[in-house]
Chains A and B, each alone.
Chain A
Amino acid sequence: MNKVQKILLGMALAGLALMLCFPIWFGITGAFSSQWELETNLAPVFTGTEEMVTWSFLPQAPTLEPLVQVLMDAPEFFVMFWNSVTITLGILAGQLLVGVPAAWALAQLPLPGKGKILSGYIVLMLMPFQVLMYPQYLVVRDLGLLDTLGAVILPAVFSTFPVFLLHRFFLAIPGEILEAARIDGAGELRIFWQIGIPLGMPGVMAVGILSFLDSWNLIEQPMTYLKTKSLWPLSLFLPQIQLKDIGMGFAAALLMLIPALLLFISGQEYLEQGIALSGGKD
């Protein structure tokens, strides 16, 4: 490939990248636009007039008003935000607590039949929510957890994808290191804690980020298992915002976007490693 070709390719790809990032930019600028500006730009959506929607690359009169309004005058926003946080952190903590040791066992411990267990985990991991919804509903109901945050958290804690992915990371640790530690008389718990965890840390980070993004974005599960509105996460609350409050809608959306985007930017290296390993050959 010569230089001109490379420049053309770079421009084409950069153009596509801009296109893909445009909706995000759109959402962010929307949060800094006043209700008045949004109503003017989006008039066709509101009043059904004939002209087209317009949008400026930057807000003409940037304002923090909608953001302040959401933070000050919308107590239900805080409730939902907190629900999202509880659900996400609950799932994350549970997955790490039981999932990391399990992944370690499947990758490095000589358990009989672990190949079969792993195959079972992979099959379960590939089942869409449509398959799991009714089975999990039954358990959650029998445990008396319906309409509690536990109904969303507990089944997700035992999803098998994190275990599978972490197991991939742990597999990369050479067995000789562990054998050497065993010969030196280190106990299994200590080997796990002092060798497995530190060497598998990129995997823990990758799983943590992927799980966070997934849990923060849950829609089907809370929709099925939570009836009480005050238990809803942000993902169910945002679509409820009426067009007349569109300023607040954009602001609330931005506040939901920020944690996910920050995590994405700061943990991108691990995230890409995690995605790459989840697709690697067996």
Chain B
Amino acid sequence: MERKQRRGFGQMWIFWAFLLPNLLGVLIFTLVPMLRVLLSSFQTAVGGHWVGFQNYATVLQNSAFRLAVANTTRFTLICIPILLVISLGLALGLRALPGIGVRLRSAFLMPMAVPAASVVLVWKVLFHEQGLLNGILISITGEGVRWMDTDASFWMLVISYLWRNLGYTTVLWTAGLAAIPESIYEAARVDGAQGWQVLRYITLPSLKGTGYTIDVLSLLNSFKVFREAWLVEGDYPQQSMYLMQHLYNNWFRELDFDKIAAASVMTSLVVFVLIGLLGKAWDKKE
């Protein structure tokens, strides 16, 4: 208490001086313009006339918007569960192998460091109709997949996303696993729990908090898969990999700022709500 009183105006000012340059920058470059966009989402792009929710209605009826939303939703619903399960399995597996596990983890993590643009040629050769991946597929199943111009291009995105994020997510799970106190395991062993039981009743419930953060971070990273899509297929890709960013870029070229504003506001709301819902979901799970 006494110390608090001694912190006069001068002292407080020094504390704020640490934060203010960054805080001001965040306000100027992000928060204030976001509010501006919120405002302009209720106005016409030219002239700024007040139109209520008309921009929102236009965007929601737009077929390209619906396609992009459907693809993005499908992508996250498929990718994130796969990513979470495989990477948790990897984290558990690596933990069971002290020594070599650490080295293997580095190998899993490496794709994360690779700039998307520097493997674009590799991707093109891998996923070409007569490419390496189909070479393997044909030798196993006798049939290849037309990755580039069918619905399969969606799976190319899934593979790209998993490739880039598997190691990152494994490291996150590993950290969550390391945070579980050894004493809980010992207590469980004393009570006679073994193998799968330990996993089911001790490990998984203790990972709830980690699971939530990983979900949120994976969701955020899932938006970046646009890079692979754009690098491999350019501005107008096969329909099933048409993502939000493609749509934004098209609207941008056509100066449809009213649509972009409304879509941005809706996207931020969805992200915001999703973060909240995911939090609830992970809290309730046993």
Contact = CB atoms under 8 A, between A and B. Distances in A.
Interface of A: 1, 6, 9-10, 12-14, 16-18, 20-21, 23-24, 26-27, 30, 42, 44-45, 50-55, 97-99, 101-102, 104-106, 109-111, 114, 117, 120-121, 123-124, 126-136, 138-139, 154-155, 157-158, 160, 163, 187-189, 192, 213, 216-217, 219-220, 223-224, 234-239, 241, 246, 249-250, 253-254, 256-257, 260-261, 263-264, 268, 271-272, 275-281
Interface in B110-142: 110-126, 128-132, 134-135, 138
Nearest to A120: B31
Contact of A163 (B14, B22, B275): B22
Contact of B113 (A12, A263, A276): A263
26 contacts: A6-B96, A9-B97, A13-B90, A20-B107, A21-B107, A23-B114, A27-B119, A44-B128, A53-B130, A53-B131, A101-B22, A126-B271, A134-B260, A135-B34, A189-B14, A217-B227, A220-B226, A239-B120, A239-B230, A246-B121, A249-B121, A253-B121, A256-B115, A264-B113, A272-B109, A279-B217
B264 A281 contact: no
Given A1-B96, A130-B223, 5 more contacts: A13-B93, A20-B111, A134-B260, A213-B112, A276-B171
Interface string B248-262: 110010000100110
A216 B217 CA distance: 20
A264 to B, nearest CB: 4
B264 A235 contact: no
Contacts of A132: 30, 34
Interface in B70-101: 90, 93-94, 96-97, 100-101
Interface stretch (B50-58, B150-158, B181-189, B206-214): B206-214
Interface string B7-25: 1000100111111011101
Nearest to A18: B107
B264 A134 contact: yes
A138 B36 contact: yes
Given A188-B14, A220-B226, A264 B110 contact: yes
Interface of B: 4, 7, 11, 14-19, 21-23, 25-26, 28-34, 36-37, 90, 93-94, 96-97, 100-101, 104-126, 128-132, 134-135, 138, 163, 166-168, 171-172, 174-176, 178-179, 209-210, 213-214, 216-217, 219-220, 223-224, 226-227, 230-231, 234, 244-245, 248-249, 252, 257, 260-261, 263-264, 267-268, 271-272, 275
Given A109-B15, A235-B117, A280-B175, A52 B130 contact: yes
Contact of A154 (B29, B121, B176): B29
B221 to A, nearest CB: 9
A127 B176 contact: no
7 nearest interchain CB pairs?
A276-B175, A135-B33, A102-B22, A264-B113, A158-B25, A105-B18, A17-B107
A1 B214 CA distance: 28
A10 B230 contact: no
Nearest to A276: B175
Contacts, number: 296
Given A26-B122, A139-B33, A126 B108 contact: no
A225 B260 CA distance: 15
A17 B234 CA distance: 29
**Residue among A20, A109, A253 facing the most chain B CB atoms (10 A cut-off):** A20
A23 B125 CA distance: 10
A138 B33 contact: yes
A42 B275 CA distance: 45
Contacts of B271: 126-128, 131
A51 to B, nearest CB: 7
Contacts of A129: 223-224, 245
Contacts of B131: 44-45, 52-53
B70 to A, nearest CB: 15
B90 A235 contact: no
